[in-house]
Amino acid sequence: MRGKLMIGNWKMNGSLAANASLLTDLLADSVDVYCRSAVCVPSLYLAQMQSLLTGTSIALGAQDVSAHEDGAYTGEVSATMLRDFAVRYCIVGHSERRQYHAESDMLVASKAQRALAAGITPIVCVGESLAEREAGQTEVVVKRQLAAVIHANGHCISEIVVAYEPVWAIGTGLTATPEQAQKVHAVLRAQLQVATAHADRVSILYGGSMNAANAADLLAQTDVDGGLIGGAALKAPDFLSMLKTASR
């Protein structure tokens, strides 16, 4: 059994004081939380969070990684650097990176490859825009995005996490219905089953405005193995509520 996995993506939010306060609140009320969990924080705070999370049940994650191992790539952070801070997970291919930084499917695949080589689990994000959904292209888009990662990492593809994040539902307040989410997750699961005999090991998370109010219905779907949580992960009561829901 995969069990549920809940990942908080803090995006470009936080401060030393705010981070410490949030983690204190999360850890103080972690009774009845049995699911796997992690927080993906801005790279500047990895050292702080490594210290705060050591010995706890919450794993540390990063929000991006370089496609390069080392060298003259000013501003980049390599997978081996992330490993120095005990990073367990790393988001790759988030829709904001694809949109604002023009990240291609091949670049995302390379980043996933670097993470895996360093012993870090990449959280591979896939998802369609509203225009693509309305044009009936949802399955084509998400399968193309995942196919690039499978092609580059075929022999160890069962070691990744996939996050389906419909772009039209990120930070908009819109959310895919549980049925819409399950339909896409099932497509992704089938694609993984063709690629590896161990597809059932791969957690497929939903990442489009999951919150405390809708988490239970989404998590009840057969192929929804958890959530990649944005804004709600910055609110300790909301994130805790979702962690407890995922633990039932």
The DSSP annotation for 95-144 comes to HHHHHHS---HHHHHHHHHHHHHTT-EEEEEE---HHHHHTT-HHHHHHH
- CA nearest neighbour of 207 among 28, 56, 8, 49: 8
Ranges in the chain, pLDDT < 70: 1
What local confidence, expressed as pLDDT, does residue 126 receive? 98
- State residue 223's pLDDT score: 96
Residue 1 confidence (pLDDT): 58
Structure tokens given for 206: 């939903």
Query: Where residue 121 sits, what CATH number does that domain have?
Result: 3.20.20.70
What does the pLDDT read at residue 190? 97
Active-site residues, by number, are 94, 165
Question: In total, how many domains does the chain have?
Answer: 1
- Whether 101 and 64 have beta carbons less than 8 Å apart is answered as no
pTM of the entire predicted model: 0.96
Write out the residue range of the structural domain in which residue 206 sits. 5-246
- Give the pLDDT confidence score for residue 209 in this predicted structure: 85
- Identify the pLDDT of residue 172: 77
Cα–Cα distance measured from residue 168 to residue 147, given in angstroms and rounded to the nearest whole number: 22
